Amino acid sequence: MTRTALTRDAILDSAAHLVKQHGPDALTMRKLAAELGTAVTSIYWHVGNRESLLDALVERTVADLGVIRPTGRTPAQRIASVARALRRQLREHPHLVAMVHERGLTERMFLPAQQALVHEVHAAGLRGTHAAEVVRAVQFQVVGFVLVERNRERAPVQQPAEEELWDTETAEDDPGLARALAGPVDQEKLFALSVRALVEALLAR
Amino acid sequence: MTRTALTRDAILDSAAHLVKQHGPDALTMRKLAAELGTAVTSIYWHVGNRESLLDALVERTVADLGVIRPTGRTPAQRIASVARALRRQLREHPHLVAMVHERGLTERMFLPAQQALVHEVHAAGLRGTHAAEVVRAVQFQVVGFVLVERNRERAPVQQPAEEELWDTETAEDDPGLARALAGPVDQEKLFALSVRALVEALLAR
DNA sequence: ACCTGAACACCGTTCAAGT
DNA sequence: ACCTGAACACCGTTCAAGT
């Protein structure tokens, strides 16, 4: 059975698959070669070395990110919709943010979202430095939230169990709060709440 | 010249030094042995293996984190002061958050800050689920911000230069905003602004 | 109890050699 | 033009052997 000819794109596809599942560290040239059914050194002919392979992978992924279309009626709603869309994009590529940052492509990657935000902030009547601050605050908020989320999801079982930590006087004083903090985080709800609060306050000043 | 006897603490000190400068990936058992002037295998006798060495390092670092003392008059001010203190702690140990997360110690690490936040949120008159949401929103906000900051600071020169990206119609329409977004981020200011906005809106509802 | 070097399996990368 | 295996320097880890 003749295998398909080894191409740069086939290598990138395979690499993307490995990275998406277990992160960039799990991408070894030898595993990649095994998955492709080729000799390790063949990969070098097509993509240079491991680092330029990752470079190419990041560049392709960033280029393939969909555009961001705001929805909603009020500026606050439309800004929140951009935040949600950005979060969804980032969650689909769990390791992309770190890889993009390491390669100095952060600004390029966020440009579509930033432009959408600028548009909505303008629609809300803001201009100049103030508008820029709002755009950046929302961007930091979304990216930060996704990074924390990702860490939490990768994390193993918490140790000690979260309940034990709140088995204190606070638990008696405010059992509802103790229960809420001991339980798991509803990230979806927390994200919506945080974005709404931030945008609301920033547009109001 | 007789070297000091090799101890578990000396190994942890040396490891902490390497990790603090270049991150956990830069900590190789062989480099560590070289810095300690000992054979690689001696380290194994004292700390087990690389993974348990990192475990011990993380545990020691978390235990040594200072307590968090809120300052300010109003609840909003005191919550913001906790956020600042937490950010300062995390910035002093740039790789700690990720390492703590990987080891399932997140909740334990944030417990002091969380308790301080709970106290202030109570002082602001909130209770139960609502109070818990505010605590978590602030915690996510701070940790997320620090993660983004760290990525930005590690990142190399942006490519393409940020100015080029904003050499568009927007630049003519609102040159103040284009200039602000093309320039570097004042992280200190952005952090203060974001925290103030979030806390303000969360306490107001 | 503490330290050592040899040895193993893994990794990225280079290079001369094949077709 | 494309692919290969051998070889090198690095890595974490084990183990038998030293004191």
| pLDDT value, residue A1 | 36
Tell me which residue in B146, B151, B194 faces A137 most closely, judged by beta carbons.
B194
Q: How far apart are CA A104 and CA B129, in angstroms?
A: 40
Contacts of A49 by beta carbon, 8 Å cutoff, 6+ apart: none
Give the residue ranges of chain A where pLDDT is below 70: 1-3, 155-171
pLDDT of residue A2: 39
Spatial separation of the C-alpha atoms in residues B34 and B28, rounded to whole Å = 10
What integer pLDDT is reported at residue A156 of this predicted model? 64
Is the CB of residue B94 less than 8 Å from the CB of residue B21? no
Reported pTM: 0.91
Nucleotide nearest A36, CA–C1', reads D3
Q: How far apart are CA B185 and CA A171, in angstroms?
A: 41
Angstrom distance, A39 CA to D6 C1': 13
**Minimal-distance CA residue of chain A relative to B121:** A177
A100: nearest Cα among B156, B139, B172: B156
Task: Tell me how far CA of residue A30 lies from CA of A25, A42, A43, A44, A50, in angstroms.
Answer: 13, 11, 10, 11, 11
Q: Which nucleotides of C are covered by protein (CB under 7 A)?
A: 2-6, 10-16
CA of B58 to C1' of C2 (A): 25
Whether the Cβ atoms of residue B158 and residue A104 lie closer than 8 Å to each other: yes
Which residue of B lies nearest to A168 if distances are taken between CA atoms?
B115
- Which stretches of chain B score pLDDT less than 70? 1-3, 155-171
* Helices A29-36 and A8-22, axial angle in degrees (round to 10): 120
pLDDT of residue A10: 97
Identity of the residue in A122, A162, A197 whose CB atom sits nearest the CB atom of B107? A162
Q: What is the pLDDT of residue A205?
A: 77
Going by C-alpha positions, the residue among B138, B112, B146, B123 that lies closest to residue B72 is B123
Q: What is the C-alpha separation between B164 and A105, in angstroms, rounded?
A: 13
A30 close to A41: Cβ distance less than 8 angstroms: no
The whole-number pLDDT of residue B168 equals 65
> Using an 8 Å Cβ cutoff, are A90 and A146 in contact?
yes
Q: Measured between alpha carbons, how far is B91 from B82 in angstroms, rounded to an integer?
A: 14
CA distance A44 to chain B (A): 24
How far B1 CA lies from chain A's nearest CA (Å)?
A: 41
pLDDT of res. B183: 87
- Name the H helices within chain A: 8-22, 29-36, 40-47, 50-64, 75-92, 96-102, 106-123, 128-154, 162-165, 169-173, 175-182, 187-204
Distance CA B166, CA B173 (A): 11
